[in-house]
């Protein structure tokens, strides 16, 4: 049964855990995106690198998150970097395919038309290819963000604070309220993040909405 009084008494602590969870979830997404886009562009430019990078990222993503947190712990200590570093690499692994597929989805006739208008390679990339790739990249970013929000709960096992603390606390005391609150906050954060990214995608790709209304 849900203990409302417990929730009221622990509201400041719950807010602190939520803030820490947001930090550990979102920083890897931002840094991972900043790394995945140039890496994807390099893989498009030198195609022989893509199978190697893709195989490496897929193999890395198969490693359990807890194992990576434990592996990094001796080097970073109980600091946010213990979670941020592995989750950033997970984000890059998730986004790489989307970035490459998005850039490659630009029709060759569009590239030729841009070149005919005097666009150099860099200008064509920024003004034509990246905007066309945006829906695929943001689609991958949505998956990465929600996955990170889920995986951050695991860092509580090694001593870092997150909403996962609530699951551990509730389990150790056979007390359902912290577990239920942790589930609601984690799911709510994931849903809110996904909705924000959907809104961002709609804002960055107005032509897709115009196409749907025709």
Of residues 168 and 102, more confidence is placed in 168
Phi and psi angles of residue 46, each rounded to the nearest 5 degrees, phi first: -115, 90
CA–CA dist 114, 98 (Å, integer): 23
CATH class, range 13-207: mainly alpha
Percentage of residues in the chain having pLDDT higher than 70: 95
> Which pLDDT score, from 0 to 100, does residue 181 have?
94
**Digit-coded pLDDT (tens) for 99-119:** 988 888 777 776 777 777 777
CA distance 174 to 45: 55
Mean pLDDT, to the nearest integer, of 2-20?
91
Please report, for the chain, how many H helices and E strands are present, in that order.
Answer: 11, 0
| Model confidence band, residue 9 (pLDDT cutoffs 50, 70, 90) | very high
Classify burial at 152, counting beta carbons within 10 Å of its beta carbon; exposed 0-12, middle 13-18, buried 19 or more. buried
Q: Say yes or no to pLDDT of 85 above 80.
A: yes
**pLDDT range class, residue 212, cuts 50, 70, 90:** low
* 44, 59, 126, 131, 188 from 98: Cα distances, Å: 12, 17, 17, 13, 26
> Which pLDDT score is estimated for 1?
67
């Amino acid at each position: 049964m849900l203990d409302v009084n417990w929730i009221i008494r622990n509201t400041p602590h719950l807010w602190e855990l939520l803030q820490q969870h947001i930090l550990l979830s979102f920083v890897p997404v931002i840094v991972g995106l900043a790394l995945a886009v140039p890496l994807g562009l390099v893989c498009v430019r030198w195609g022989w690198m893509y199978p190697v990078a893709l195989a490496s990222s897929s193999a890395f993503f198969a490693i359990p998150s807890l194992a990576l947190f434990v592996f990094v712990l001796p080097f970073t200590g109980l600091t946010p970097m213990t979670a941020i570093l592995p989750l950033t690499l997970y984000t890059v692994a998730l986004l790489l395919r989307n970035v490459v597929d998005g850039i490659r989805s630009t029709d060759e006739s569009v590239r030729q038309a841009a070149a005919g208008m005097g666009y150099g390679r860099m200008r064509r990339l920024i003004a034509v290819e990246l905007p066309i790739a945006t829906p695929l990249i943001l689609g991958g970013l949505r998956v990465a963000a929600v996955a990170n929000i889920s995986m951050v709960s695991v860092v509580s096992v090694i001593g870092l604070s997150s909403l996962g603390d609530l699951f551990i606390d509730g389990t150790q005391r056979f007390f359902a309220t912290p577990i239920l609150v942790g589930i609601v906050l984690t799911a709510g954060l994931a849903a809110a993040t996904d909705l924000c990214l959907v809104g961002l995608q709609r804002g960055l790709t107005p032509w897709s909405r115009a196409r749907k209304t025709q």
